[in-house]
C-alpha cells in the first residue's frame, strides 16, 4: 500500500513538474528575446548617432564654392563661424547614409541650417520570438547633431581683403604687403592662427574652429 501511494504521488507531481519546466523555458526564451530586442535597439541608436555626426561633419567641411579664405575680412570670418558660409546644396546626408550602411542600417536625414536629424532602421531583426509583436521587428532610433562654433575672431587681428591706403598720383605705389593673419580666440584660452600666406586646408581648419556634437 505504501508503494502504491508513493507511485500515485509521483504521477500527480509529474504534470506540475512539466508545467513548471515549460514555464521556465518560456521565461528563458522571453528573456532571450528581450535581450536580443535591446541589442537591436542599441544597434539602431548607434547607427543613428554615427550617421547624424557624419552628416554634420561633412557639412562643416564643405564651404560655399568660390570662397577665398585668404581674402576674407574679419567680418566675413565671423559669418563663416556662424555657419552662414556652409554649402546648403551639399549632400551631407549622403555621408549619413554611408555611415548607416556600414552599421547595417538605413536612415532618413533632414537638414535645418547647421542641424541634422536622422532616423535609423536596422536591417537585422529580432527574429522569431515567443513574445507577441516582436517577431521580425527592426530596431529604430532617432539622433540629432549640430555644428557648434567654438571660436571667434580675436580683436586686433589683421585680416585679409582690406583695401590698400590711397597713394598720391605722382608717388610710386608701394609694394603691396601680404595680407595679415587672422587669429581666432577659442575655448580654454586656445588661439588658432590662420596665415593667408601659408594657408591650411579648410577641413583641417574647420576641425579647429567647430565642434560636432549630438543634441537632445
CA distance 90 to 52: 15
Whether the per-residue pLDDT at 206 is higher than 60: the answer is yes
Round to whole Å and give the CA distance between 142 and 109.
10
Looking at every residue in the chain, the average pLDDT score rounds to 79
What band does 120 get if pLDDT is binned at 50, 70 and 90? Answer: very high
* Gap between the Cα atoms of 41 and 48, Å rounded: 11
Report pLDDT for 32.
55
Number of domains in the chain: 1
Q: Percentage of residues in the chain with pLDDT exceeding 70?
A: 67
Q: Is the pLDDT of residue 9 over 80?
A: no
Q: Is the pLDDT of residue 96 over 90?
A: yes
pTM of the model: 0.73
Q: Are 196 and 70 in contact (CB under 8 A)?
A: yes
User: Is the pLDDT assigned to residue 162 strictly greater than 50?
Assistant: no
For 125-161, how does the pLDDT look when each residue is reduced to its tens digit (9 = 90+)? 755 554 555 566 788 999 999 999 999 998 865 544 4
Residues 33-47, mean pLDDT to the nearest whole number: 78
Q: What is the CA radius of gyration of the chain?
A: 31
- Which domain, by its residues, includes 144? 2-124+132-215
**Residue 164: strand, helix, or coil:** coil
Contact present, 171 and 188 (Cβ < 8 Å): no
Amino acid at each position: 500500500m505504501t508503494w502504491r501511494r508513493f507511485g500515485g504521488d509521483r504521477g500527480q507531481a509529474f504534470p506540475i513538474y512539466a508545467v513548471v519546466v515549460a514555464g521556465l523555458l518560456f521565461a528563458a526564451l522571453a528573456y532571450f528575446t528581450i535581450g536580443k530586442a535591446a541589442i537591436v535597439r542599441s544597434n539602431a541608436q548607434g547607427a543613428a548617432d554615427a550617421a547624424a555626426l557624419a552628416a554634420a561633419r561633412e557639412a562643416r567641411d564643405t564651404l560655399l564654392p568660390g570662397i577665398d579664405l585668404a581674402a576674407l575680412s574679419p567680418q566675413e570670418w565671423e559669418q563663416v563661424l556662424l555657419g552662414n558660409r556652409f554649402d546648403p546644396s551639399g549632400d551631407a546626408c549622403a555621408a549619413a547614409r554611408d555611415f548607416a550602411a556600414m552599421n547595417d542600417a538605413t536612415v532618413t536625414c533632414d537638414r535645418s541650417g547647421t542641424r541634422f536629424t536622422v532616423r535609423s532602421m536596422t536591417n537585422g531583426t529580432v527574429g522569431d520570438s515567443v513574445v507577441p509583436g516582436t517577431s521580425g521587428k527592426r530596431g529604430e532610433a532617432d539622433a540629432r547633431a549640430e555644428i557648434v562654433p567654438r571660436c571667434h575672431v580675436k580683436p586686433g587681428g589683421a585680416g585679409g581683403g582690406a583695401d590698400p591706403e590711397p597713394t598720391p598720383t605722382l608717388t610710386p605705389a608701394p609694394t603691396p604687403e601680404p595680407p595679415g593673419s587672422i587669429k581666432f580666440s577659442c575655448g580654454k584660452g586656445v588661439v588658432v592662427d590662420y596665415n593667408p600666406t601659408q594657408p591650411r586646408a579648410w577641413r583641417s581648419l574647420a576641425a579647429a574652429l567647430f565642434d560636432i556634437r549630438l543634441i537632445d
